[in-house]
Amino acid sequence: MILIATLIAAIACKKEECSVHPDAFRFSLVGAESGADLIGTGVYNTSEIGVYYLLNGQRNDLIVNIEPEPDGDLVEMVSAQLPMISLTGRSDTFYLVLNELETDTLNVVVELERRDGCNYHPYTLVIHNGKSLPIVEGKAFILEK
C-alpha cells in the first residue's frame, strides 16, 4: 500500500517540475543608509566571508561562494548547504563571518511543503541580527549593515 502511494505521488508531477533540494541561500550585503553594495565596493572581502553553525558545541563551516548569476547589480554570495541544515533540523541559527572582527547572526527556517504532488522547501523565516527579512521566492536576501 505504501509503495502504491509513493508511485502515485511520483507520477502526479513531472520530475523536472519537482524540487529535490531547497533553493540555495543567496545574500548580498548593503549599507543600511546608502544601499551601496558592501561586497562589490570592497568593504567586505569575499575571501573572508563565511557561514557556520554549532552542533553539540562544535563549529561546522559551510561552503560559501560568489553567485555567478546574481539577480541584479549587487554581488551575491551563496550557500547551498545552509537550507539543508535548517531543513534537517540540525540548526536554525547560523553565524555570518564578515571578517575577523565582525560576525552577524542569521536565523533561517526552511520547511518541507507538498504542493501538487511535489516537495517544495520554502524559507519561512529569515532574521538577520534580529531583523526579519522579506522572503521572495527565488530572490537573494538583502542584508543591511
In 13-139, alpha helices (H): 81-87
pLDDT at 61 > cutoff 70: yes
pLDDT digits (tens, 9 = 90+) for 91-110: 999 999 999 999 999 999 99
| Phi, psi of 2, rounded to the nearest 5 degrees | -65, -40
pLDDT of residue 51: 98
Assign 92 to helix, strand or coil: coil
Higher pLDDT, 17 or 135: 135
Would you place residue 5 in the very low, low, confident or very high pLDDT band (cuts 50, 70, 90)? very low
Please provide the average confidence, as pLDDT, over all residues in the chain: 88
pLDDT of residue 3: 38
Show the cell assigned to 126. 529569515
Across 69-81, average pLDDT? 92
pLDDT of residue 17: 62
Q: Print the domain residue range for 110.
A: 2-144
Q: How far apart are CA 68 and CA 76, in angstroms?
A: 8
Number of domains in the chain: 1
Q: In angstroms, how far is the first alpha carbon of the chain from the final one? A: 53
Show the cell assigned to 91. 540548526
Would you place residue 82 in the very low, low, confident or very high pLDDT band (cuts 50, 70, 90)? very high
Q: How far apart are CA 23 and CA 123, in angstroms?
A: 9
Q: How far apart are CA 63 and CA 51, in angstroms?
A: 7
